[in-house]
Amino acid sequence: MAGTIVVVGSLNMDLVMRVDRFPKAGETRRAHTFETFIGGKGLNQAIAAARQGCRVRLIGRVGSDSFAETLRAVARREGIEDRWLLNTPNMPSGVANIVVERSAENFILLAEGANGALKPADVEAARAAFAGAQLALMQLEVPLESVLTAARLARQAGAQVVLVPAPARPLPAELLAQVDILVANRDEISAILSEAAHEPEIDARRVLRAGVGMVVVTLGARGAFCVRANQPMRSVPAFTVHAMDTTGAGDAFVGGLVAALAAAEPLEAALRRAAACGALACTVMGAEPSLPRREAVEALLHRA
């Protein structure tokens, strides 16, 4: 699989605890395990795409703590170009505290650290990263003005803009008008529309009217679908697996999708690969360890 993407996003250390059930307000519960993993939506999705054989360039910031070199070393190990990954003096790297319940559901508390220091000027200085890329992928764990700058530079370089609107929030029309592909779950779609969810396809088509070229909606165990203006909905079912931890499943889906699209795979094949990536991610504990490699994805696609 070929193709080049640019990822503009966050890098975190994930601090993960497993519990029987989530604590109630004011309650202290014993965690069965504690582990640290590489994380951040930007780095996770960059790794997920790289493991599918895509060339990846990463724009972001790490802090001045012990986590910074760990994050950078993992990016390099995965073959990700990190020349645009900046160190941030006197600031910690991003950290996520993740609690995983027996059901495999999770909640996440995020301290953005150096991710919040990624400025539009940093993205401008990385303009060369967009040259020759097929897609530019970004999320919302770095400042919005930096995301806007990245979308503009990607468009100027001829790359498609892929946005994952997480953490969920309303988005300005200026940004939505520059998005070629929006990948979101139902809650994120509702946040963009600033109202309660209706039928997923109806809400997705409302987002199209804001200027987005295509909307891909992930539905967990119900699979995913995509819509484009004046075209019928295309859907892909979820793969059946034994889920251990859903952390990282969405990032695996996105990484598989952009890698396939950058390699010029047909849309339906790209969605199917993305669904396989997301399913396999649920079978392994942690975010970065769960992001599947191409060989495992090919095996699942062949068996299905």
Are 253 and 214 in contact by the 8 Å Cβ rule? The answer is no
- Interatomic CA distance for residues 228 and 202, integer angstroms: 12
The partner residues of 94 in beta bridges, in order of sequence, read 12
- Interatomic CA distance for residues 230 and 23, integer angstroms: 46
Q: Is 245 a catalytic residue?
A: no
155 closest CA partner among 84, 211, 200, 74: 211
Q: Which residues touch 163 (CB under 8 Å, ≥6 apart)?
A: 137, 138, 139, 147, 151, 175, 179, 181, 182, 183
- 161: phi then psi, degrees, rounded to nearest 5: -95, 120
Which member of 14, 82, 203, 251 is catalytic? 251
State whether residue 132 is helix, strand or coil: coil
SS (H, E, C) 210-258: CCCCEEEEECHHHCEEEEECCCCCEEECCCCCCCCCCCCHHHHHHHHHH
206 closest CA partner among 224, 223, 219, 190: 190
- 5: phi then psi, degrees, rounded to nearest 5: -130, 155
Q: Which two three-digit tokens encode residue 72?
A: 């950078």
Q: Which residues touch 78 (CB under 8 Å, ≥6 apart)?
A: 46, 47, 50, 51, 56
Q: Which amino acid is at 47?
A: I
Catalytic residues: 251
